[in-house]
Amino acid sequence: MGLIRAQWVLDDERGPVADGVVHVEQGRIVQVVSGAASIRRLVDAVGEKPSDLGSGVLCPGLVNAHAHLELTALGGRLSGDGPFAAWIGHLLRERAECTDSELARGVHRGAHELLDGGTTAVGEISSLAISPPWAESSPMAVRLYHECLDAGDRARTREALEGVREQADATSLMPAISPHAPFSVSPDLLAGLGVLAKTGGLPITIHWAESHEEQEYLLQGGGPLAEHLGPSPRRPGLDLIDEAGLLGPRTCLVHGNHPVPGEPERLAAAGTSLVHCPGTHRYFGRDTFPLELYRRAGVNLALGTDSLASNTALDMRREMALLREVQPGLAPAEVWAMATRGSARALDLEGQVGCLSPGARADLVLFQVESGNSESILDELTAASPPVTALFLEGCRQERMPRAPMGSDR
């Protein structure tokens, strides 16, 4: 049980309110109150003095809807200057040169970097089974997706399906899957994953419409990806995902840089979320993200850092600031919602993280802001990467945030 008081509290409905208290019990939020009289009544009812954090704005932790912490060890080793297919090849070669323990240390380092920036929940994609042990013991909220792909090789299709079943048995976390992308997962594997997802009610994430090369291969059957993947299905990726039964409210698609007309509306109708990764977008020097198409269609939008193989930091504050730079017309409240409630919904964790609602995890972050009024606080939170001076996971203050294990190469 506990009462946590701060100069400002970011209420879900009202925005920043002065002098607020978050009431926490057993790691969950009970309620948020503000103003001296309401706080006094709460203190009397609970019979406990609030722990006063002083200056700053107390917020729900940020939610990173797309990460590959297993690739943290590759930070700084790749370049986004060349073609996308060349980047994939480079990534696979660099990853093969890392030992499992280097990759595992990277996972811990990446998680620590997220916490440093006020991110308390993450959608992590595991390709190599390196991040599951971390995810199982992490005090963060982790949606762990098991990645599957067969890259046009029929021999790998069955193996990939078996892998999902084994992973589901091995983990104490709710199983979730990530068919890698419609160009790297055969229609047979997509169909098999669709059946598993439907039977198990599994959360799903899929890279979709990320690059020109992907669209060229899927729609026309040509381009550099055709050399590695064999014959193209010559179908839009979204049709393949939809036909496999993988388009629904528990699915989030990632990137969506090249939707064809009508696709944003299909996402909205299915209740499917879209995750944008501003840092990765910048890394590859891509054209402006077509955010307005998704907004107009009413698609739930989320933000993610992606990995250090295509980004220079794992910091959701920076992702918000990058988005505001390129979309200056976007309201700060909307950008904040993408990095909190929108990302929570994308991970099928709505109401559990990214909000200060009753029943949500008490994952709280105190950001130091210079603003003295509620109007400019959201502006500062989303554009100025304010420092984090206190962080709580399930109501427990992280006095020393979890560091990488001994032997860290940090």
For binding to Zn ion (CB under 5 A), which residues are involved?
Answer: 306
The DSSP element (H or E) to which 203 belongs, if any, is none
Q: Give the nearer residue to Zn ion in terms of CB position, either 24 or 125.
A: 125
* Shortest reach from residue 4's CB to Zn ion, in Å: 35
- Cβ-based nearer residue to Zn ion, 125 or 320: 125
Report how far residue 307's alpha carbon sits from residue 327's, in angstroms, rounded to the nearest whole number: 22
Q: Beta 301-303 vs 273-276: how paired, if at all?
A: parallel
Distance CA 169, CA 180 (A): 21
Decide: residue 31, CB within 10 A, 0-12 exposed, 13-18 middle, 19+ buried: middle
Of 213 and 306, nearer to Zn ion (C-beta) is 306
Nearer to Zn ion, 306 or 319 (CB): 306
8 Å CB contact between 380 and 371: yes
Q: How far is the CB of 389 from Zn ion (least distance, A)?
A: 31
Helix axes 154-170, 187-200, angle to 10 degrees: 20
Decide: helix, strand or coil at residue 135. Answer: helix
CB of 394 to Zn ion, least distance (A): 27
**306 or 380: CB nearest Zn ion:** 306
Tell me what percent of the chain is helix, strand and coil, each rounded to the nearest 5: 40, 20, 40
**Segment (H or E) for 85:** helix 84-97
Nearest-CB residue for Zn ion: 306
Please choose, from the candidates 292, 398, 389, 404, the residue with its C-alpha nearest in 3D space to the C-alpha of residue 59. 389
Identity of the residue, 306 or 348, whose beta carbon is nearer to Zn ion in the bound complex: 306
Q: Could you tell me the smallest distance in angstroms from the CB atom of residue 68 to Zn ion? A: 6
Is residue 21 within 8 Å of 9, Cβ to Cβ? yes
* Least distance from Zn ion to the Cβ atom of residue 265, Å: 24
| Tokens representing residue 57 in the block | 């704005």
Is residue 340 within 8 Å of residue 60, measured between CB atoms? yes
Instruction: Pull the structure tokens for residue 185.
Output: 């997962």
For the CB of residue 255, give the shortest distance to Zn ion in the complex, in Å.
8
Q: Closer to Zn ion at the Cβ: 123 or 152?
A: 123
Q: How far is the CB of 406 from Zn ion (least distance, A)?
A: 30
Least CB distance to Zn ion at residue 210 (A): 8
Strand segments, DSSP code E, in 245-353 are 251-255, 273-276, 301-303
Output 70 or 306, the one with its CB closest to Zn ion: 306
